[in-house]
Structure 1
Amino acid sequence: MGTLANAIKETLTENIMRWRGEGEMKLPSERYLSEQHSTTRVTIREALKLLETEGLIYRENRRGWFISPPKLRYDPSV
């Protein structure tokens, strides 16, 4: 993966951590993100795939990318 995709991933990760907890939130479109970061949609998709692999976002067909809800933590000792 390119270093630009990793840099975009880090920027998006910071934004996701700020937005998380506000309920289901849709990320901006790939086209908007590519214009914002002055790069191609292919590079944006690489960054989004990295975030999806980490479980921070998920994709719905024909709807776009969404922030994953926080993981539930279950402590059976309580």
Structure 2
Amino acid sequence: MIKTDHISIQCPECGHTEFEQPQDVKDDDFVKCHECGFEIMLADLREVGIEQAREVVIPEAKKEIEKMLKKAFKGRLK
């Protein structure tokens, strides 16, 4: 079973996970890193977050699939 169930989006500049944003934020609004002040459009930050999630989840999924396959074929390969 994949263990990661929550991934926080990190600032591309400093890695911090808290951002300042307008009240009614939209995709084309800019958000600002609370730590370093880096500004990025929300839509772009979402893309960054998706890539960061892939970097964590894909290796976990591969490892889990390998475990499942080894278990499924245990004793059948000679």
Is this a same-fold pair by TM over 0.5?
Answer: no
Larger C-alpha radius of gyration, 1 or 2?
A: 2
Q: What TM-score does the superposition give when structure 2 sets the normalisation length?
A: 0.32
Q: Which has the higher contact order (CA 8 A, sep 6+)?
A: 1
The structure whose residues are more often helix, as a share, is: 1
Q: What TM-score does the superposition give when structure 1 sets the normalisation length?
A: 0.32
